[in-house]
Amino acid sequence: MTDEKSRVQVSIRIRPLLKIDKNDKPIVHPLDETSLSLSDDKKAPKSYQFDHVLCGDQQSVYETIGRPMLEEAYKGFNVCLFAYGQTGSGKTYSLLGDISDEEKQGVAPRFVQELFDEAQRRVDEDTDLTIKVSLSMIEVYMEKVRDLLAPRQRGQEPEALEIHEDSNRRVYVKDASVHQVLGSERTMQLLRKGNANRQTAETKMNETSSRSHAIVQIAVTQEFATLEKKDLECTISLVDLAGSERQTKTESSGQHFEEAKKINHSLLMLGRALNSFSERKGNADSFISLRESKLTRLLSESFGGNSKTWMLATVSPTAYNAYETISTLDYASNAKAITNQVKVNSGLRSLELKELKMVVSILEKRLENVGRTRDAKQIELARLEEECQAMRAALQTAHSQELIKSKLQSACTRIREGNGMLRKRIEAASSGVMWPLDNIGAPLFFKGRCGISLKSVFLGQKCTFRIPIKADNGQGTTCKLIVQLFPVGENTTECTSGATVVGSDVRFVLHIVGAEGLPPNCSAHALCLVSLLNGKCSEFFSTITSENTTCPNWNYVRQFELGNVTSDIIDNYSSRDLFCFEIFWILGVK
């Protein structure tokens, strides 16, 4: 799909005057919906032009920024909103606000609510559509990346995580927890938890000043059951930058002073990156490496990359903060000149899975045709046997022994050839294998299945299973699937009852090691298709395809999490299979 250009959309929000501003003079004035003026006594008035100048309530901010972001996200575009401004100017209030107060909620909680409302509307309209949402939340504190949703122990420093790049050079945080969410309520809980875990401190400028940059990432996948519609996926990034500050105003010292140095350094590097990407600077500007700070590297996709980006810059209206306000407005002006190359993100993985399902359906239909052909050949065999009996009877009464002998030999030859071919086809069809019919090529094919529950996980056991594989007709085979299933995390002690994990989040790992005892004539290609049957929606994934072995080694590892486990969930997933494995062995088309 071709790329398109998308300019960064910049909005300025002017903070209302507060009690602490009563003796100060306002110098920032909105001119209209897209421009403002800054009138300092020391300088001539200066006007600024942006996409939006906001002075209204939280809902108007969401209507201006959040709703357009939501529309682009459901089209399959990556979207990003980052809030920037002086400490105490209203960044965190604009982005998060009071999550528990509907009127004071910021852009993020309103966005989450409408995200799931729109998902429900789309699913109701199209029964072929499944929408999946996951969330992660990290912070950059003192140039260390930390997971805001990971379990924490009192008095213990959170683990510092590493930034990596995948094969497509997309940046991600290794070992950051990813939480599958089914509704807005659970998502709000995670936002509250992550915001509560942020590093904050009281300064002279702000009682709850954020001492870290926070990044919320929401992944949305739209999967269709039919091949006629393309799956879509996108990443939504909501960034609350720590406030820029001057030590002479905040009067910070000690640890707070060191925090301020790191904050200002990362914001300086981000500002240089914005200046470098700005089209109005031309080619004269020197290249700025995005690896200069953790923040610029994490936001690399938002500036010059594959993302439609919005910036919300918050400013104080008073003369006391004139220096910081001018700096913020210049920062925003540079961002406004940046153009990204964006494209719709198609879910290639799910498309491959649907194509694989279609191949399976075709092979199953061919297998049914083999069964029907087998029945026809059995009828033909009976007819040939009757013909043979008739020829033997004719032999006793025929006058020409040589003619009778010749006909009999010819008939017997046809019977032997037909009998041999039929025997091969009957044996192949009985064992779930296809055989070439009437010179039409078809792959040798075997399909078996098995399943496993989570009983051992709830008991805290680390187990290796060799599960017998049954054919589709229910008959046992000599094949076995080798699977490891074990819990991970802090509370993984073995117990005699699953009741000990009620109310907690259970994380576990499924390791598909491989299989053994495959039929030698069906060992050219082998793979395992896994169905996750959680009662509400099914998820499918598959191993790699092994070749030319009767004991494939897939070594497929995947981690899962069950949030807020109840006794009903434990009983349900202990008494029935949560994972269904379908194993395919194919010789290949001749």
Confidence (pLDDT) at 127 = 92
What does the block give as tokens for 434? 């296809």
Closest CA to 324 of 334, 314, 333: 314
Sign of the dihedral through C-alpha 35, 40, 41, 43:
negative
Structural domain span for residue 122: 4-248+255-351
For residues 70, 73, 74, 77, the Cα torsion angle rounded to the nearest 10 degrees is: 150
Does 462 count as an annotated binding residue? no
Predicted confidence band at 106 (pLDDT cuts at 50, 70, 90)?
A: very high
pLDDT computed for residue 2 by the predictor: 62
Last residue of a domain, one of 300, 325, 351: 351
206 inside domain: yes
Mean pLDDT of the region 361-376: 86
Last residue of a domain, one of 336, 351, 366: 351
Confidence of residue 105 (pLDDT cuts 50, 70, 90): very high
Using the predicted structure, report yes or no on whether residue 207 has a pLDDT greater than 50. Answer: no
Is the separation of the CB atoms in 40 and 27 below 8 Å? yes
- 381 within a domain of the structure (yes/no): no
**59 annotated to bind ligand:** no
Out of 22-26, 270-274, 544-548, which region has the weakest mean confidence (pLDDT)?
A: 270-274
How confident is the model over 28-72, as pLDDT tens digits? 999 999 999 998 777 788 999 999 999 989 999 999 999 999 999
Is 88 marked within a binding site?
yes
Whether residues 186 and 326 fall in one domain: yes
- Token pair recorded at residue 310: 């919005």
Two tokens at 267? 């914001």
Q: Can you tell me the distance from the alpha carbon of 85 to that of 244, in angstroms, rounded to the nearest whole number?
A: 6
Work out the pLDDT band at 110, boundaries 50, 70, 90. very high
* pLDDT band per the 50, 70, 90 thresholds, residue 202: very low
Banded pLDDT at 201 (limits 50, 70, 90)? very low
**pLDDT of 271:** 79
Q: Does the residue 435 lie in any domain?
A: no
At 497 the pLDDT is 84
Q: What size, in residues, is the chain? A: 590
User: How far is Cα 140 from Cα 210, in angstroms, rounded to an integer?
Assistant: 11
pLDDT at position 434 is: 47
577 sits in which H/E element: none
Nearest to 575 by CA among 391, 402, 451: 451
Q: Specify the CATH number for the domain of residue 271.
A: 3.40.850.10
pLDDT tens-digit map of 3-13? 788 899 999 99
Residues of the chain with pLDDT > 90, as a percent, come to 38
Q: Report yes or no on 217 lying in a domain.
A: yes
Span 157-183, pLDDT tens digits: 889 899 998 887 788 899 999 999 999
Give the 3-state secondary structure of residue 508: strand
- The answer to whether residue 449 sits within a structural domain is yes
Nearest to 517 by CA among 555, 472, 549, 471: 549
283 or 195, which is more confident: 195
**Is 91 marked as a binding-site residue?**
yes
Same domain, 347 and 462: no
Classify residue 408: in a domain, yes or no: no
Rg for the chain, CA atoms, rounded: 33
> Is the per-residue pLDDT at 113 higher than 60?
yes
Give me the pLDDT at residue 533, please.
82
Q: Kind of pairing, strands 4-7 and 46-49?
A: unpaired
* Residue ranges of E strands in 16-169: 28-30, 35-38, 46-49, 52-54, 79-85, 129-141, 144-147, 163-165
**Residues 571, 573: Cα–Cα separation, whole Å:** 6
- Distance separating alpha carbons of residues 84 and 182, to the nearest angstrom: 30
Give residue 426's pLDDT band: very low, low, confident or very high (50, 70, 90).
low
Top pLDDT among 436 and 519 is at 519
- Report pLDDT for 440: 44
325, 351, 377 - which closes a domain:
351
Q: Is 85 annotated as a binding residue?
A: yes
**Residue 585: pLDDT band with limits 50, 70, 90:** confident
Tokens of 479: 């094949």
Tokens 């990034």 correspond to 237
**Residue 276: helix, strand or coil by DSSP?**
helix
Q: Is there a contact between 567 and 502 (Cβ–Cβ < 8 Å)?
A: yes
Min mean pLDDT across 193-207, 334-348, 410-424, 531-545 is at 193-207
Grouping H, G, I as helix, E, B as strand and the rest as coil, residue 26 is strand
Number of domains in the chain: 2
What's the pLDDT score for residue 145?
93
Q: Is 89 annotated as a binding residue?
A: yes
pLDDT bracket for residue 525 (50, 70, 90): confident
Is residue 414, in this structure, part of any structural domain at all?
Answer: no
- Does 387 score more than 80 pLDDT? yes
CA distance 537 to 113: 21
Q: What is the Cβ-side half-sphere exposure of residue 222, based on CA atoms within 13 angstroms?
A: 26
Are 307 and 78 contacting, i.e. CB atoms less than 8 angstroms apart? yes
Question: pLDDT tens digits, residue range 473-521?
Answer: 778 888 999 999 999 987 678 888 888 888 888 899 999 999 998 877 7
Please state, as a whole number, how many other Cβ atoms lie within 10 Å of the Cβ of residue 258. 12
Which domain CATH number covers 548?
A: 2.60.40
Whole-prediction pTM: 0.58
Torsion-angle region of 438 (φ positive above 0: left; ψ -120 to 50: alpha; else: beta): left
pLDDT single digits (tens) 143-159: 899 999 998 887 788 89
CB atoms near residue 456 (< 10 Å) = 19
In a domain, 189, yes or no: yes
Q: Which of 117, 135, 163 is nearest to 238 (CA)?
A: 135
Q: What is the mean pLDDT of residues 96-107?
A: 91
Q: How does residue 254 score in pLDDT terms, banded at 50, 70 and 90?
A: low
Residue type, 353: L
Asked if residue 308 has pLDDT above 80, the reply is yes
Q: What is the pLDDT of residue 133?
A: 97
- Residues 559-586 have a mean pLDDT of 88
The string of pLDDT tens digits covering residues 388-409 is 888 887 776 666 667 767 777 7
Average pLDDT, the chain: 83
